Amino acid sequence: MADHLARTLAAEAGVRGLAAVTTELVEEARRRHGTFPTATAALGRALTAALLLGGLAKDGARVSLEFSGDGPLGSILVDATPDGDVRGYVSRPRTDLPPRAGKLDVGGALGRGLLCVLRIPPGEAVPYRGIVPLVSGEIASDVASYLVDSEQTPSVVGIGVFVNPDGSVGAAGGYLLQTLPDADACIIDRLERNVSASEPPTELVRRGLGAGDILGTLLAGFPARVLEERVVRFRCRCNRARVEAAVVAMGRAEMQDLLTTERRTELVCEFCGERYLLDEAELRALLDAAGATPGERS
């Protein structure tokens, strides 16, 4: 089954939820960035978290999450759209720590620090930025803490990545459950009992449950209905036109220096690892288009 995200609503109970299966896109991120197991789990959890938050955004918006810690992993930057596109990278992809309590030590790898969430509305609206301390570095609890502290929305977040012995991704996914304003206390208690009784997200995915099935398990006893399901994927917004614009932004002097010394340049996208090579003819064409010539001094 392709990676996908589902949204559900139990309006009468005052509960809404999202769940995602992200195994394939996390594996693609691992291959692109060459991450070691602990870094794979950290990046995969962050990518899944971004998709869950992105699923709450309006069409045309974007959600960006930056986890900055003092641990060996450094930082993680991911962003996602409501359409199901997500991309991201970790600053030190070769990070791998010994397991802690039988699990990959993502919290130890990230350490103490901050989570910055940037919500970028469609159009010309001003972005909203929220910054909260990391409470564990385990990603899911940090996102839940952000939703309560910064957006005043009580939430339950569960995210997991299962890494196979060979380093590949065996399962990945997660969920986000929220109570709507004025939800009854007994509803919250029942929701917490359901979550406590459920298996971790990766076990649900490994058993073959889809995103809608995961929500059905977590919301058992609630009159919920699935509003939609959509495909999610690792997809970057980089392209050759953006790369050429970045080269032009370097300025004439540096472009001329490239022509004189290297006669070519290669740029690598941090988000996806895609490599773009511009040869001498392409660099000259960019200079000409910018109103300069290779022999011009600035």
The answer to whether residues 107 and 134 touch, using CB atoms and an 8 Å cutoff, is: no
Instruction: Measure the CA–CA gap between 19 and 232, rounded to whole angstroms.
Output: 11
Instruction: Measure the CA–CA gap between 275 and 262, rounded to whole angstroms.
Output: 17
Instruction: Measure the CA–CA gap between 163 and 30, rounded to whole angstroms.
Output: 10
Instruction: Measure the CA–CA gap between 287 and 234, rounded to whole angstroms.
Output: 33
**What does the domain layout of the chain look like in residue ranges?**
4-234, 240-289
Over residues 164-179, the mean pLDDT reads 96
Over residues 72-90, the mean pLDDT reads 97
Instruction: Measure the CA–CA gap between 201 and 143, rounded to whole angstroms.
Output: 16
Instruction: Measure the CA–CA gap between 230 and 157, rounded to whole angstroms.
Output: 20
Reference 270, options 1, 6, 32; nearest CA is: 32
Over residues 129-137, the mean pLDDT reads 96
Above 80 in pLDDT, residue 297?
Answer: no
Query: The tokens 């459950």 sit on which residue?
Result: 177
**Which tokens go with 170?**
């065996």
- The strand pair at 233-234 and 85-90 is best described as parallel
Over residues 2-27, the mean pLDDT reads 92
Above 80 in pLDDT, residue 19?
Answer: yes
Q: What is the pLDDT of residue 112?
A: 97
> Which CATH architecture fits 4-234?
3-Layer(bab) Sandwich (3.55)
Above 60 in pLDDT, residue 109?
Answer: yes
Above 50 in pLDDT, residue 292?
Answer: no
Query: The tokens 């986890």 sit on which residue?
Result: 67
Above 50 in pLDDT, residue 223?
Answer: yes
Over residues 27-47, the mean pLDDT reads 98
Above 60 in pLDDT, residue 206?
Answer: yes
Count Cβ atoms below 10 Å from residue 269 Cβ, excluding itself. Answer: 18
Q: Which residues pair with 68 in a beta bridge?
A: 75, 114
Q: What is the pLDDT of residue 295?
A: 44
Amino acid letter, 188: I
Q: What is the pLDDT of residue 298?
A: 34
Average pLDDT, the chain: 91
Above 80 in pLDDT, residue 270?
Answer: yes
Looking at per-residue pLDDT, the higher value among 183 and 114 belongs to 114
pLDDT confidence bin for 77, thresholds 50/70/90? very high
Query: The tokens 């109103």 sit on which residue?
Result: 291
Phi, psi of 276, deg, nearest 5: -125, 120
If you average pLDDT over each of 33-37, 122-126, 220-224, 294-298, which comes out highest?
33-37
Instruction: Measure the CA–CA gap between 98 and 107, rounded to whole angstroms.
Output: 12
Above 70 in pLDDT, residue 296?
Answer: no
Task: Give the CA angle between residues 220, 80, 245 to the nearest 5°.
Answer: 170
Q: Give the full edge-to-edge strand order of the sheet including 155-163.
A: 155-163, 169-179, 15-21, 4-10, 225-231
Q: Which fold has domain 240-289?
A: CBS domain Like (3.90.1280)
The answer to whether residues 278 and 265 touch, using CB atoms and an 8 Å cutoff, is: yes
Above 70 in pLDDT, residue 148?
Answer: yes
User: Which range (99-103, 109-113, 133-137) has the least confidence?
Assistant: 99-103
Over residues 255-282, the mean pLDDT reads 89
Over residues 82-100, the mean pLDDT reads 97
Under DSSP, the state recorded for 103 is B
Q: What is the pLDDT of residue 124?
A: 67
Above 90 in pLDDT, residue 64?
Answer: yes
Above 90 in pLDDT, residue 264?
Answer: no
pLDDT confidence bin for 31, thresholds 50/70/90? very high
Amino acid letter, 247: V
